[in-house]
Amino acid sequence: MNRNTKTILGISLIIFSIGLAFAFKNSISPYLTVTQVVERGEAINVQVNGTIVPNSTTYNPETNTRTFLLTDGKTTIKVIYRGAVQNYQEGIPAVVVGDYKNGVFEAEKLLLKCPSKYQAGG
Amino acid sequence: MDIGYLFLIISFLSSLYATYAFYIGSKSDKKVAIRLLKRAENSLYIYTISIIVSILILTYYFLIRDFNVRYVYLYSDRHLSPLYTISAVWAGREGSLLLWAVYIAILNVLALKIERKDRVLALSLSISSFIFLFLSLLLLTTSNPFVRLEFTPQDGYGLIPLLRTPEMALHPPTIFLGYAGATLPFSIAIASMYLRSQWENRIRIWTLITWIFLSIGIFLGGWWAYKTLGWGGFWAWDPVENASLLPWLTATALIHGLIRRFRHLNFWLTSTTFMLVILATFITRSGIIESVHAFGESAEAYFYLALITFSALLSFKVYKGKTHTENKKSASTIRDLTLIMNIFILSLSAITILLGTLTPLFSDVVVGKSFYNRIEIPLGTLLVILLGICIAMDWKFNKEVFLLRIKISSLIGIIAGIIVFFVTSMSIASLASGIFLFSLINHIQTIKPTDYKNPRKFGGYITHIGLLLLFIGVMGSWIYEEHYKVEIPVGGSYKAGEYELKLKDVIFSEDEEKVVATAIVDVYKDGNLKAELNPKLINYKIKRQERIVSGVSIDSSVERDYYIAISGISQNKGFFEFYVIPLVSFVWIGSIVMIIGGLFAMSYRLKFD
């Protein structure tokens, strides 16, 4: 490679790194446990990992709203979720994405973990 | 012991011997070498035949519904149709690993048949047999598909409903062929580097095979996600999707690097592609990265990390051991520079995705989709512009001709952009169509009818045009997608933007496999009926927890899709996710054109042999 090539690549690399850093900083959201969320009191745009408490789900077909409890073994929070859910099941691990305010977690997204799902995906 | 397991053992032992004999054979004097290599070849045939026999035995267990075999029990049941029963062979961790090993074995035999038989090939086959050995060791230990239960259940657990689509039946066999394809370029590059031999021409066909099948696999995965998952998209930057895209990006860079002999660059691209394939397997199987997809936790995963480390050390060793006296082909022409830039952009893309995918491993944060979109959309756009510039040059650079072509294409691009802006008043759409036409016109200006006889060049052109169509599709569907959460009583209607949705009826039906709720939804715009959609909610009668699947309903046309999925339903009310997605058809057309281009380019080598 001659010097011009190296200069061009070098400059683009610097510009790229700056862009990458900004994009990264603006796109990350913290991953919390249920206990950490409750300790914070209020948390916006976070992902929370936990298990759906058995027999805690209520579903209102009039508003398509699902309410359930999420636990990490130590602490439990109430989660409200409106929207599509495939393979909903109590007692399984779940990830909720959304905001925690006034003791309630408003989930925008609900991701359910299935032990054997998609393994073939490769 | 199960007979299938017995064949796995034979496979393991003969690949162990093949690894040894090919290695010693590659170093020995002629007389010893001939004798040893003959034996090595025979062991290669033996392990290939045994692994094929064992996958056939597994398929047989599925077909006769032998639920005493744990794997058969987990992934099928009595009601499963014969074709999906066969696809269930690779529906799980063990079966897909077996399939991967089968592919590596078959490709090794192919290499033996079509490559020049020399020391390099012997050493390469020793390395690729070692990789086979590694996989067959996993099949014998952590991922044995032939484990039997202590009793025989009456019925199986059932194939995961989401996998009961033709795309998902075909996705693993294609993506794993892509994965397997990366083994030979890696082995040949390492062996050649070690023996100081020229290698770049030899790996081209194998790299193309990798590229073509990774492309088909990724395409099928995206198409499946779009048709099945109900969130109106084909790509979510999910770790598992990223995992397959990473080796695809480096393989694409490598194919371009191989046009010119950028030796050092090519070596590292080859080696990285292989390591990324193994990393992809690690990501999918470890469950270590939180994702909707990758939850299959298994100890097996850590063996893959060991294989990556081993490959990296091997690469460094042969690279360092190599004397740098070779005639270095540096980027001398201006077109070489654009090729380097292309490889550079593809590598930056891969680095970005790698960073985003692995971040959750090292910290407590999750990287959102916006991270990828912010970096990858500009990089992709840059790539399309660069593609137009690069193609407008000839290998023998002629400044006047080049500038003329650029002037013509820029002019057409700018005019098209202005027209699109006046018609749609959408700024990004007009910019994108301008860039699209700029690049397309440069391709049209430089292609000659006689190029048809040169599959390498012509195949490249076809793939480029496919990429341009894909670019338009991605821009349209990602930037201009409309999404509405809709709630309609039966017999009523709902206003979503400029659309009106009417829920005519909800019908419940049942057969021996499933219970289905079907909603009849009509889409109106300005009082005109635009589409009749019938999304479904399907409840499969199986033992699995994953029973309920949303049946997406799509009305497709070239310019836009109407897309609807049920999010909740009762006798008198329905909740829907409704999407209007412009130009998404270009994503499919573009991908298919790219793959056709790849196949065309491959016909070059096949003709020669």
Give the mean model confidence (pLDDT) for residues A64-81.
Answer: 90
* Per-residue pLDDT, B446: 87
Strands (E), B476-587: 482-489, 493-496, 499-510, 514-525, 528-533, 536-540, 548-551, 553-556, 560-569, 573-582
Q: Is residue B249 part of a domain?
A: no
What secondary structure letter does DSSP report for A74? S
Is the same domain home to B46 and B130?
yes
pLDDT at A120 over 60: no
**Same-domain pairing of B129 and B37:** yes
CA distance B20 to chain A (A): 30
> Taking a C-beta distance cutoff of 8 angstroms, is the pair B69, B61 a contact?
yes
Give me the residues of chain B with pLDDT under 70, please.
287-299, 322-332, 545-546, 604-609
Query: Which of B374, B546, B566 has its CB closest to that of A87?
Result: B546
Tell me what pLDDT residue B291 has.
46
Q: Which of B97, B260, B354, B366 to mutate to test the interface with A (most CBs of A within 10 A)?
A: B366
Check B163 against A120: CB less than 8 A apart.
yes
How far is it, in rounded angstroms, from Cα B546 to Cα B159? 10
Q: Is residue B594 part of a domain?
A: yes
- Is residue B261 assigned to a domain? no
Same-domain status, B97 and B4: yes
Do A61 and B545 count as a contact with CB atoms less than 8 A apart?
no
Write the DSSP assignment of B202-257 as a string of letters. Answer: HHHHHHHHHHHHHHHHHHHHHHHHHHHT-SS-S----HHHHHHHHHHHHHHHHHHH
Residue of A nearest to B548 (CA): A87
Exposed/middle/buried for residue B347 (C-beta within 10 Å: 0-12, 13-18, 19+): middle
Three-state SS across B391-429? HCCCCCCCHHHHHHHHHHHHHHHHHHHHHHHHHHCCHHH
Q: Looking at chain B, which residue has its C-alpha nearest residue A94?
A: B292
CB–CB of A119 and B96 under 8 A? yes
> Does residue B563 share a domain with residue B445?
no
pLDDT at A118 over 60: no
Indicate whether B42 belongs to any domain.
yes
Residues of B with CB below 8 A from A118's CB?
160, 162, 240, 292-296
Of A1, A23, A29, the CB nearest to B375: A23
State residue B605's pLDDT score: 57
B553 and B433 fall within a common domain: no
Instruction: Say yes or no: B48 and B111 in one domain.
Output: yes
Name the residue among A12, A29, A111 with its Cβ closest to that of B368.
Answer: A29
Closest chain B residue to the Cα of A85, Cα to Cα: B567
Range of the domain at B133: 1-164
**Closest Cα partner for A119 from B270, B134, B362, B294?**
B294
**Measured between CB atoms, which of B91, B365, B549 is closest to A120?**
B91
Co-location of B48 and B158 in the same domain: yes
Q: What are phi and psi of B531, to 5 degrees?
A: -155, 150
Residues B578 and B429 in one domain: no
Contacts of A23 in chain B (CB under 8 A): 370-371, 374-375
How many domains, in total, are found in chain B? 3
Which amino acid makes up residue B40? A
Percent of chain A with pLDDT over 90: 15
With an 8 Å Cβ cutoff, are A85 and B340 in contact?
no
Of A29, A87, A120, the CB nearest to B366: A29
Contact A87 B548 (CB under 8 A): yes
For B161, nearest residue in chain A (alpha carbons): A117
Identify the pLDDT of residue B288. Answer: 61
What's residue B279's pLDDT? Answer: 94
Contact A120 B92 (CB under 8 A): yes
Greatest alpha-carbon pair distance for chain B in Å reads 86
Give me the residues of A, 28-87, that contact B with CB < 8 A: 28-32, 47, 49, 61-62, 64, 82-87
For residue A1, the model assigns a pLDDT of 59
CB A118 to CB B365 under 8 A? no
Pair (B473, B490) in one structural domain: no
How far is residue B81's CA from residue B284's CA, in Å, rounded to a whole number?
27
Closest partner CB to B365 (pick from A28, A86, A95): A28
* Rounded-to-integer distance, Cα A121 and Cα B221, Å: 8
Whole-number pLDDT of residue A114: 55
pLDDT tens sequence across B54-107: 999 999 999 999 999 999 999 999 989 999 999 999 998 899 999 999 999 999
Query: What pLDDT is stored for residue A113 in this prediction?
Result: 65
Distance from CA of B540 to the nearest CA of A (A): 11
Which residue among B366, B374, B550 sits closest to A31, beta carbon to beta carbon? B366
Residue A59, pLDDT > 70, answer yes
Domains of chain A, by residue range, sit at 29-114
Whether the predicted pLDDT of A117 surpasses 60: no
Are B3 and B134 contained in the same domain? yes
- Superfamily (CATH H level) for A29-114: Nucleic acid-binding proteins (2.40.50.140)
Distance from CA of B533 to the nearest CA of A (A): 18
Residues B25 and B142 in one domain: yes
pLDDT of the residue at B606 = 56
Lowest-pLDDT range, A5-9, A109-113, B274-278? A109-113
B113 in a domain, yes or no? Answer: yes
Best probe of the B interface among A51, A60, A110, A118, by most B CBs < 10 A, is A118
Residue B304 lies in a domain: no
Residues of A in contact with B331 (CB under 8 A): 1-2, 5
Nearest-CB residue to A31 (from B163, B364, B570): B364
Report pLDDT digits (tens) over B166-222.
998 999 999 999 999 999 999 999 999 999 888 888 999 999 999 999 999 999 999
Both ends of chain B: CA-CA distance in Å? 44
Give yes or no for residue A103 having a pLDDT over 90. Answer: no
Instruction: Give the pLDDT of residue B354.
Output: 95
* Contacts B577 to A, Cβ<8 Å: 83-84
Distance CA B132, CA B125 (A): 10
What number of residues does chain B have? 609
Q: What is the pLDDT of residue B345?
A: 94
Domain check: are B75 and B85 in the same one? Answer: yes
